[in-house]
Amino acid sequence: MSQPRLRAPPRVIHVQLMSPVPPIRHDPGRRFWLELDGEVAYLAYRFVDERTVDYASTWTPHTLRGRGIATRLAHHALAWAREQDLTVIPTCWFVRKVLTQTGPQNEGSRGT
């Protein structure tokens, strides 16, 4: 007589529902930012001269990390620089990382 097959208990999967990511806003000459769940993430920049922009820093609050928000801000800011035909100085380590991963030719950055 064969043994009855024991079934494994059903797996419980916890899913955290995340708020949809809102559009990125732009404070000209200052930063790209978005607000989500009452928190603000941003990429700060400054003009070095008329045709050069320095992406100085990014900030994502701890509660929003791991969602790709900083990457989205960096891609958005780099696309904006390309549209404006600006040279980018990636002082921010995170923007430099995004440029290294995607390549300046893909983002339109003329600076390194």
Chain segment 84-103, per-residue pLDDT in tens: 999 999 999 999 999 999 87
Q: What share of the chain is helix, strand, coil (3-state, %, to 5)?
A: 30, 30, 45
Query: Is the separation of the CB atoms in 57 and 92 below 8 Å?
Result: yes
How far apart (Å, rounded) are the C-alpha atoms in residues 104 and 86? 12
pLDDT at position 1 over 90: no
pLDDT at position 107 over 80: no
Does the pTM exceed 0.85?
no
Domain boundaries, the chain: 25-107
How far apart (Å, rounded) are the C-alpha atoms in residues 43 and 95? 9
Q: What is residue 20's predicted lDDT score, i.e. its pLDDT?
A: 76
Structure tokens of 100? 């290294």
Going by C-alpha positions, the residue among 51, 32, 25 that lies closest to residue 110 is 51
Q: What is residue 111's predicted lDDT score, i.e. its pLDDT?
A: 46
Q: Looking at domain 25-107, does it have CATH number 3.30.1660.40?
A: no
Chain segment 3-61, per-residue pLDDT in tens: 666 666 666 654 555 567 799 999 999 999 999 999 999 999 999 999 999 999 999 99
Structure tokens of 10? 């059903």
Beta pairing class for 39-49 and 87-89 = unpaired
